[in-house]
Amino acid sequence: MERNWNVAVIGGGAAGFFGALSAAHHHPRANVVLFEKSGKLLSKVKISGGGRCNVTHACFSPSAFAKHYPRGGRQLKKAFSTFSAQDTIDWFSDRGVPLKTEEDGRMFPVANTSRAVIDCLLAEAHKAGIDIRMKTPVTAIVPLEGSGFDLQGEQFDRVIVATGGSPKATGFDWLVALGHTISEPVPSLFTFNMPDETITKRMGLVVKNAIVRIQGTKMSHQGPVLITHWGMSGPAVLKLSAWGARELAERNYGFTIQVNWIGLINETEVTTHLNEALPGMVRKKVANACPFTLPKNLWLHALDKAGINPDTSWSDLGKKLRNRLLNCLLNDTYVVAGKTTFKEEFVTCGGVTLGEVDFSTMQSRIVPGLHFAGEVLDVDGITGGFNFQAAWTTGFIAGSLA
């Protein structure tokens, strides 16, 4: 049955737009108003993926997709059965924005620009008659007696909150006032600062298949690592920061990492590989003959760290130095002292406690008629399009206003 509801959506990001569009789709007679406190819409969509917008990820099993969320995966598993990555692909494709899949599974518009996604969402909102009000912050939601809400003197039947994350718990005070509990926000998806490590002199270096471990924990991830002028970044580091967000915050971002640059776990296999390669390298200088698939700059860094003169020939390199070199490649350690937010793509661990939200409708269990979508919840995914998919999915379900 169509409803003549007045629906307020708070937040002009990906989740807010999708929530508003879903509400207009499921309830064509509803009056949908989208409130955005700033003068910009879809700002994260614009900068995501270097300005190309990493819309989603090519993973089509809800249970497999849900495994990419350090927080909220269990709740999202069911939600993805309602609106999945394939549904996202179809939704944009049906509206003239086909997506392409890159080698690592990330999906971008074929047009290769976030503008295509933004223009699509804006056009759909205009077509649906959504009232978009920019520079209009909502500071309080006042439940009315019986049902409905007052938002700064205007009455609404349903409200969807899609305001995103907040760096401080005080940013959620207006939701605490409604009876909701907030999981303390801490940063997720950040890079590691290493102010005293000489590897930063090799900035720009990319190692495609390293294993990074945090000493004293069971946390490790394998994948590309990027050396920056402040430390280390890349998918392996960003994934570690997401899964370890709370523990690393408790350590005040001071810890030691152990890096296996070769990406092979079996040390016997590595030693065998080296011994097999040695006969063809005995007369060559170690600087010019790396037996592993590594960037030249990293190889030189490992030689330096192992105390090996790069002009030494392999035939003159004794077993002791060879073992020291292998240790530098397999068990290289670095002291981390601080973090840097990943570009401008701010993601937090924390938000509205998940047990207080029914993920089949995204409706509050505390305040009937109040729905949530996106990063305002204690939900966050690793890099690769997972946070946007959570936004599309929760926005779509919230907008059904079930």
* Residue type at position 274: L
153's CB contacts (< 8 A; 6+ apart) are none
Nearest to 197 by CA among 338, 341, 342, 340: 338
Nearest to 55 by CA among 109, 12, 8, 96: 109
**Across-strand partners of 370?**
159
Write phi, then psi, for 332 (nearest 5 degrees). -75, 130
- Alpha carbons 255 and 202: distance in angstroms, whole number: 21
- CA distances to 270, 284, 326 from 273, in Å: 5, 17, 11
Local confidence pLDDT in tens for the 402 residues of the chain: 456 899 999 999 999 999 999 999 999 999 999 999 999 999 999 999 999 999 999 999 999 999 999 999 999 999 999 999 999 999 999 999 999 999 999 999 999 999 999 999 999 999 999 999 999 999 999 999 999 999 999 999 999 999 999 989 999 999 999 999 999 999 999 999 999 999 999 999 999 999 999 999 999 999 999 999 999 999 999 999 999 999 999 999 999 999 999 998 778 888 888 888 888 898 999 999 999 999 999 999 999 999 999 999 999 998 899 999 999 999 999 999 999 975 555 688 999 999 999 999 999 999 999 999 999 999 999 999 999 999 999 999 999 998
Write phi, then psi, for 129 (nearest 5 degrees). 75, 25
> What does the domain layout of the chain look like in residue ranges?
6-186+347-399, 190-341
Fold entry, domain 6-186+347-399:
FAD/NAD(P)-binding domain (3.50.50)
Nearest to 261 by CA among 340, 310, 198, 325: 325
- Alpha carbons 100 and 124: distance in angstroms, whole number: 21
